[in-house]
Amino acid sequence: MNGRILSVVGGMFLLTVCSKGDQGNAAAAPAAPPAPAAPATSDPSADGGTITGKIKFTGTAAKNPTIDMSEEAACKAKYPSPPTEEVVVAGAANALANVFVYVSAGLPANAKYQAPSTAVVLDQNGCRYHPHVLGIMVGQNLEIKNSDPLLHNIKAIAKKNRGFNVSQPNAGMTRDVTFSAPEVMVNLECNVHGWMHAYAGVRPDPFFAVSGADGSFSIKGLPPGTYTVEAWHERFGTQTATVTIAGTESKTANFTFAAH
């Protein structure tokens, strides 16, 4: 088998409904012939398959609202001109950043993956979250820190995980949290600053990525198999594609969202 991509279709379908649920809106291509059952593995093999792709959108996205930081001089001072929210972060040629891409189905049911011991850091700096979208494994530490000399409360709104809402009034405060169940997405927000939103994709495996400023992503180390890959964007909803990996190859899955 030459491992051709049997189907990368999700991206071809434009979204018509805005949805933040994990239901894919785009139809998947006809299912690939079942791949030989992959052996269960505890760590993603470094030389497994790779899925890369580019994400873009068509149409014109509404302008991100400008943030009025007049109440927070210390944050305001960190920007030469008033910053905007990050609802749609676009690169050149409508490349779309901050899309959470992950393998939503196809991994062996009995596979268990060890969470890395390194933490994912979420920084509150200039009254914005860095990063705005992140992926994290079940059990992996999320280190939430405050780099601003003022009060942020960080609240997680979740369904499958326990939410939380803790305050960090001082610069240098940190809080480690872990999530116990997969959930796409856990919403993070600050209620002092209504514009502060971040999203965490919580996965039981390491096969996820967040698209960069140029809209590109890459998921590495996949064992052979046929996978459903889902792309989630906070405003444009979700799309799926089906990708089959046969060996240590690299496949492409591009996604195109429709702005609305």
Partner 1 sequence: MALVATQDTSAGKQVYTKWCAGCHGDNGAGDGPAARHMIPPPRDFTGAVYQIRSTANGQLPTDADLLRSIDEGLPGTAMPGWKNRLSDRQRRDVLAYIKTFSTFFADTTQRPQVLEFGKEPGGGTGAEALRVGRQFYDSIGCRKCHGDQGRGDGPSAPTLKDDAGHPIFAANLHENWRFNGGPTTTDIYHRLRTGLDGTPMPSFSDLIDQKFLTETELWRLAEYVRSLSPGEPPVVRDVIHAPLVTRVLPRAPDDSAWNAVDTYWFPLVGQVIHKNRWFAPAVTGVWVKAVHTRDSIALRVTWDDRSASPDSAWLGHLGRVLATVQSDDSTREQPALWPDQMVVEFPVTIPTGMERPYFLMGSSSGPVYQWRWTSASRSAAVAGLARGIERFDSLPRGGVGARAVYDHGQWRVVFTRALASLDTASQLPFRSGRAIPVAFFALDGSNGEHGTRMAVSTWYFLALDEPVPARVFISPVLAMLLTLGLGMLVVWRAQQKTSYRRQQ
Q: Which residues bind ligand HEC (CB under 6 A)?
A: 153, 191-192
Report d(CA 227, CA 7) in Å as an integer.
10
| 251 is a contact residue toward Cu ion (CB under 5 A) | no
Q: Which of 193, 203, 233, 251 binds Cu ion (CB under 5 A)?
A: 193
Report d(CA 90, CA 155) in Å as an integer.
27
User: Minimum distance between the CB of residue 185 and partner 1, rounded to whole angstroms?
Assistant: 14
Q: Which of 59, 82, 169, 247 binds partner 1 (CB under 8 A)?
A: 169
Q: Is the dihedral of CA 34, 36, 42, 48 positive or negative?
A: negative
Within 171-210, which residues bind partner 1 (CB under 8 A)?
173-175, 180, 191-194
Nearer to ligand HEC, 45 or 191 (CB): 191
Other beta carbons within 10 angstroms of residue 108's beta carbon come to 13
| Residues 142-161 as x/- pattern, contact with partner 1 by CB under 8 A | --------xx-xxxxx-x--
Contacts of 96 (CB under 8 A, 6+ apart): 55, 56, 57, 88, 89, 90, 211, 215, 233, 236, 257
Residue 170: name its binding partner from partner 1, Cu ion, ligand HEC, none (Cβ under 5 to 8 Å by kind).
partner 1
CA nearest neighbour of 108 among 5, 207, 208: 207
The residue type at 120: V
Contact positions vs partner 1 (CB under 8 A): 71, 150-151, 153-157, 159, 162-170, 173-175, 180, 191-194
